[in-house]
Amino acid sequence: MFERSRKGEHALLIQPHAGGAVAEDVLEEFADLARSAGASVAATLTARIDRPNPATLIGSGKLEEVKAAADATGADLILVNHPLSPGQNAIWNGRWSGAWSTVPA
């Protein structure tokens, strides 16, 4: 019988935003989307991006914070609620050995 892998089901959610507070309904909808895809939500981080970092979208300091939060919560999946460029994808791949994905705009 086929047994489904448990890897990739404990997710850290990253919600980039452009200044101000993030609407609570946006965070709830993102978490609901993750759960409907079979993930449990380990934690949610917001990342203010007034000017998106061309290399990482959220900046290298925030990217380190994401890695630390993933390690602290045991997350094995990172979901980013924003598309990344091919170059940003390459940098994220180099910094994070677990699974991760973006949510298209």
Does residue 74 form part of some domain? Answer: yes
d(Cα 22, Cα 87) in Å, to the nearest integer?
26
Does residue 8 form part of some domain? Answer: no
Give the pLDDT confidence score for residue 39 in this predicted structure: 92
Six token digits for residue 72: 């602290």
Rg (CA), the chain: 14
Write the pLDDT tens digit of every residue in 7-33: 558 999 999 998 888 999 999 999 999
Does residue 7 form part of some domain? Answer: no
CATH number of 61's domain: 3.40.50.11060
Does residue 85 form part of some domain? Answer: yes
The domain in which residue 71 lies consists of 13-102
| Residue 4, pLDDT above cutoff 50 | no
Write the pLDDT tens digit of every residue in 47-99: 999 899 999 999 889 999 998 999 999 998 899 999 989 888 888 888 777 77
What does 66-97 look like in DSSP terms, one character per residue? HHHHHHHHT--EEEESS---HHHHHHHHHH--
Q: Crossing angle, helix 86-95 and helix 60-73, to 10 degrees? A: 50
How many domains does the structure of the chain reveal? 1
Does residue 3 form part of some domain? Answer: no
Q: Which of 13, 16, 17 is nearest to 77 (CA)?
A: 13
Does residue 91 form part of some domain? Answer: yes
pTM of the model: 0.84
